[in-house]
Amino acid sequence: PPDVQALGRSAWTFLHTLSANYPKNPTQEEKSDMKQFLGLFGKLYPCWVCAEDFREWMDRPENKLQVGSGGKGGNWLNSRERFGLWMCMAHNAVNTKLGKAEFDCRKWEERWRTGCGV
């Protein structure tokens, strides 16, 4: 890929903005759409090492996105709060891998809120 850094910054801007706009009370369809989207994102992200590690992270039992209730997943798709935290943790996993400081996930919404009044 031409520029892994620029691609990464833009991608994280998109992904965190996506979480900031995720419904507070998502329907089954909204959960399912997000799960599918991230599955495809992880397949198509045009930095192949990045994509592979991201898929591996998403595949861990504790990070798995599940649409239905039950199971022992973290219900990450159940609300904007949960999903925003999940995305922050995903980003922190990459920060750690790259030797960068962890971001304080209590502040993700403050950092990424769009101001669209939602």
Residue reference for tokens 């919404």: 109
Alpha-carbon span 109 to 105, nearest angstrom: 8
Q: CB atoms < 10 A from the CB of 77, how many?
A: 24
Determine contact, residues 51/43, Cβ cutoff 8 Å.
yes
- Scan residues 13-52 and list those touching ligand FAD (CB under 6 A): 16, 45, 49-50
The CB-of-45 to ligand FAD minimum distance in angstroms stands at 6
Q: Pick one of 3, 9, 39, 118: the residue that binds ligand FAD (CB under 6 A).
A: 9
Q: Pick one of 23, 95, 109, 113: the residue that binds ligand FAD (CB under 6 A).
A: 95
Q: How many CA atoms lie within 13 A of 61 on its CB side?
A: 2
Interface with ligand FAD (CB under 6 A)? 4-5, 8-9, 11-12, 16, 45, 49-50, 53-54, 88, 91-92, 94-95, 98, 103, 108, 111
